[in-house]
Amino acid sequence: MSNGNSHPKTADIVIIGAGVMGASIAFHLARRQAGNIVVIDKDHVGHGASGRSSALIRMHYSFPPEVQLALVSLHMFQHWREVVGEPGDFRKTGFVRIVHPNESERLKLNVEMQRKLGVNVKLISRDELKEMEPDWAVDEVELAAYEPDSGYGDGAGVANDFLSRARDLGATYLPKTPATALRVESGRVRGVVTDHGEIAAPLVVAATGPWTRPLVARAGYDLPIENEYHQVAILKNAPGMKAGGCACIDSVTATYFRSDGQDKFLVGDFSGQRGVDPDNFPQRASDDLLEETIERASRRVPKLENAEVMRGVTGVYDLTPDSRPILGEIPGMDGLFVCAGFSGMGFKISPAIGLVMSELLLDGRGKTVDISAFRPSRFADGRLIKAEYEYKDD
């Protein structure tokens, strides 16, 4: 596969990156028989953030197009076998959003907006939450948002399923094939330079996560993506802990957590160290940092204090200034599209992102969801995304 002789010299569309995004785009393009599609990855499918993702699936966003993307994706996760032909890993556990007490009004307004868009979500009281999740300490919670249909999935599984279906439909996959440069001439992309030679193509998509900024900068456009290091703890359920409980994002403890199968629990953090190298970050989690995150999550789930840490997962987020993805064509470089900057939240919307990116490439715009607000030029234009009822930690 990685033998230089077998590498194609031309393609109709080259997708750089075989994470959940690149694989999803390839799948949706292949489904529409969009021609000769080549997916390249410098390592292999799911090697980036996708294979390390906590993979929470929730609809609770404050910016309506993100809610729509999450909803379209949820439908695909729920019908994975019909869509992709594989059983899938979606686990429906329910999801709870807890915000700072002074943001309860915003929570209400966001839930109202989400319900209008078709999300199955409702506000629940402290007592209802306590009844649903007896292990959680919720004394200070006035109101929470509850989504019964949400849960979690598996990043490596989704990337693999999309890619293998895309290949069944005729796409070519080249692992161990780094793109070293984008060939851009006279305001148009002409192809991709790889260390196995050049692939000429009129359409190129960079779905390269935290590696995107330097790649596109070499072609002459700066995308303000910063890389941020994150750690996640996988714990064994403490004795007597409820199995398979709800996933949660909790602004008060600045943690998110979910069950992991019937016997484990996953805890992650809101913030991390900026400026890490995605090719050289700690592969082993720091015990001290894990302890600190677990200690905070224990304020919400006290039984975690006695839970055994089984392992840590490390990974890198590709953060943008408004914490929203960058989707679209690079100004002045026709045919060069970016799909990156998911800011630690991309997994749950990846099925829909592949669909709307395929529409953008083939039809000139996202038809299923209007994604124009995510255009790359918004930073240079000073048009960052700000939701109407944004939370402080959105």
Ligand X SMILES: Cc1cc2nc3c(=O)[nH]c(=O)nc-3n(C[C@H](O)[C@H](O)[C@H](O)COP(=O)(O)OP(=O)(O)OC[C@H]3O[C@@H](n4cnc5c(N)ncnc54)[C@H](O)[C@@H]3O)c2cc1C
Rg (the chain; Cα; Å): 21
Does residue 52 touch ligand X according to CB under 6 A? Answer: yes
For the bound state, the minimum distance from the C-beta of residue 180 to ligand X, rounded and expressed in Å, comes to: 7
Residue 25 CA, distance from chain mean position: 14
Contacts of ligand X in 192-251 (CB under 6 A):
207-209, 211, 215, 230, 232
Selected binder of ligand X within 25, 50, 335, 338 (CB under 6 A): 50
Does residue 149 touch ligand X according to CB under 6 A? Answer: no
For the bound state, the minimum distance from the C-beta of residue 181 to ligand X, rounded and expressed in Å, comes to: 9
Residue closer to ligand X (CB basis): 53 or 298: 53
Does residue 328 touch ligand X according to CB under 6 A? Answer: no
Contacts of ligand X in 339-358 (CB under 6 A):
340, 342, 344-348
Number of residues that bind ligand X (CB under 6 A): 42
Does residue 55 touch ligand X according to CB under 6 A? Answer: yes
For the bound state, the minimum distance from the C-beta of residue 16 to ligand X, rounded and expressed in Å, comes to: 5
Selected binder of ligand X within 56, 76, 113, 352 (CB under 6 A): 56
Contacts of ligand X in 254-313 (CB under 6 A):
268, 313
For the bound state, the minimum distance from the C-beta of residue 102 to ligand X, rounded and expressed in Å, comes to: 25
For the bound state, the minimum distance from the C-beta of residue 149 to ligand X, rounded and expressed in Å, comes to: 15
Selected binder of ligand X within 25, 34, 49, 357 (CB under 6 A): 49
Residue closer to ligand X (CB basis): 57 or 381: 57
Selected binder of ligand X within 13, 14, 15, 16 (CB under 6 A): 16
For the bound state, the minimum distance from the C-beta of residue 125 to ligand X, rounded and expressed in Å, comes to: 26
Stretch that binds ligand X, among 17-25, 80-88, 110-118, 361-369 (CB under 6 A): 17-25
Residue closer to ligand X (CB basis): 150 or 237: 150
